[in-house]
Structure 1
Amino acid sequence: MSIYDRIGGTESVRAAVDGFYARVLADPELAPFFVGVELDRLKAHQRAFIAAALGGPQIYAGRDMTAAHAGLNVTDGAFDAVVAHLASTLAELGVSGEDIAEIAATLAPLRPQIVSVRELAG
């Protein structure tokens, strides 16, 4: 059984994306990345991307991650915050810690495609 099926399929992905964006948009460090973004369109892309990444039947036809995040100056800290918001959203929806860890492992390889600003170690 895929992660997609284990977490509840389409309705769970929809709830996760809605809850995730509520958290991200309330985060003062992340909200500026979404100024002027058509959120309904972005959420639709995100639902398709997550569903496909988790083994669902949807096909993601959006841009690749490098192109989609080009020019946004995403930092490692912003990437980590996004992953943390996703994990919190999934936990709130009752997704098991094991499935959350598996989802995070699926997203981790995307870091080099999304992060374009390397932060200096302090």
Structure 2
Amino acid sequence: MISKQQTLFERIGGDQAITELIHKFYDRVVADPELKPFFKNASMEKIRRMQREFFSAALDGPITYTGKPLGYVHHGRGITKHHFALYVGHLIQALEKININDQDVQDIISRINTYADEITGTAGSMG
């Protein structure tokens, strides 16, 4: 008998958990004085929709990310590794708020960290 291993998306509670995560997460992000300026002229409705897609796809869910490539969307915005670390810190706190277990939090952060260079524009740079 072969049992199908659950995806990370399924383990954390699927679409309902992702939707709750994005809500709590972006409430934290836009309240951060260092991150808030990046969202000044942005449609938070669109960002939340795209982030729902992004996180669902990144965690092996059934939803496809339909947005532009991350490097393109974030290019020239001045996002540094420091900003990315703040972002990830808020993500960890939001995951804890929705009661995601420690192993799944680590797995999610590991996946999100794979996008750091694209978002900060440091892919292929030395240092």
Moved over 4 A (4+): none
Listed as ranges, the gaps of 5+ residues in structure 1 are 118-122
Listed as ranges, the gaps of 5+ residues in structure 2 are 1-5, 123-127
Amino acid at match of 2:44: L
RMSD: 1.0
Aligned-partner SS, 1:72: coil
Q: TM-score, normalised by structure 1?
A: 0.93
Number of the residue aligned with 1:90: 95
Number of the residue aligned with 2:40: 35
Correspondence 1:13-92 to 2 at 5 A: 13-92=18-97
Q: Which of these two proteins has the greater Rg computed from alpha carbons?
A: 2
Count the aligned residue pairs: 117
Number of the residue aligned with 2:125: none
Q: Equivalents in 1 of 2:11, 2:114: separation in Å? A: 22
Q: Percent identity over the alignment?
A: 32
Q: Equivalents in 1 of 2:29, 2:13: separation in Å? A: 22
